[in-house]
């Protein structure tokens, strides 16, 4: 079990707190992702097939068409950019990097590589005030606010919360973009498509 501040989350850690609930979408969603992965791993092991499991944090990044404006992460960032809700600190990953990791996983398995589990995420949460400044500079509303009350969950805001990127680079050859580039590109695409 995770015991801060002595360490951070790794690909060996599993969600042990989320539950299936009729009243709590977020927890039920996280529970279903964990259960799906667990079942896929059991089936792969029974079948003797290698499996690569990719576990992204909240996926952000530029959209290619207006049909993507309905996704949860796009709605969230659009509300931030318009100043409709405070900017929040999140662990994140760029949609382009998620796509690259999927391709790399497929190629690795096709070439006879071993399975594995990889977390696709930034390792530190960017403070919301810093993220707000990036969004404003990228073309967001100057009246955006930031949630300054969040200090972190089990790991203090700004500290290393996840160890993932070394394993991802070594195991799949994937290097993730920084949060600033992701958010800048996302705002540019929002402004273009909205």
Q: Please say if the pLDDT value at position 2 is more than 80.
A: no
pTM: 0.90
Sign for the CA dihedral angle at 93, 83, 26, 152 comes to positive
Q: Are 81 and 17 in contact, with CB atoms under 8 Å apart?
A: no
Give residue 20's pLDDT. 82
Which of 3.30.930.10, 3.40.1050.10, 3.40.50.720, 3.40.50.970 would CATH assign to domain 49-193?
Answer: 3.40.50.720
Segment 172-178 shows an average pLDDT of 97
Q: Give the least confident one: 17-26, 84-93, 123-132, 179-188.
A: 17-26
Segment 108-127 shows an average pLDDT of 95
Q: Please say if the pLDDT value at position 6 is more than 60.
A: no
- Identify which has the larger pLDDT, 1 or 142: 142
Give residue 1's pLDDT. 45
Give residue 3's pLDDT. 52
* Other beta carbons less than 10 A from residue 83's beta carbon: 16
Segment 89-94 shows an average pLDDT of 96
Q: Please say if the pLDDT value at position 4 is more than 80.
A: no
């Amino acid at each position: 079990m995770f015991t801060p501040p002595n360490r951070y989350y790794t690909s060996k850690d599993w969600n042990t707190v989320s539950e299936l609930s009729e009243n709590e979408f977020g927890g039920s969603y996280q529970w279903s992702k964990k259960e799906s992965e667990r079942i896929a791993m059991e089936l792969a092991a029974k079948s003797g097939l290698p499996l690569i499991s990719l576990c992204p944090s909240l996926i952000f990044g530029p959209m290619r068409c207006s049909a993507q404006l309905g996704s949860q992460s796009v709605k969230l960032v659009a509300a931030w950019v318009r100043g409709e809700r405070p900017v929040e600190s999140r662990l994140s990953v760029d949609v382009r990097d998620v796509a690259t990791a999927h391709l790399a996983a497929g190629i690795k398995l096709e070439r006879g590589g071993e399975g594995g589990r990889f977390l696709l995420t930034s390792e530190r949460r960017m403070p919301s005030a810093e993220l707000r400044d990036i969004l404003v500079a990228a073309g967001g509303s100057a009246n955006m606010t930031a949630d300054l009350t969040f200090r972190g969950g089990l790991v203090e805001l700004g500290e290393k919360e996840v160890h993932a990127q070394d394993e991802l680079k070594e195991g799949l050859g994937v290097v993730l973009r920084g949060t600033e580039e992701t958010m800048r590109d996302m705002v540019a695409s929002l402004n273009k498509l909205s």
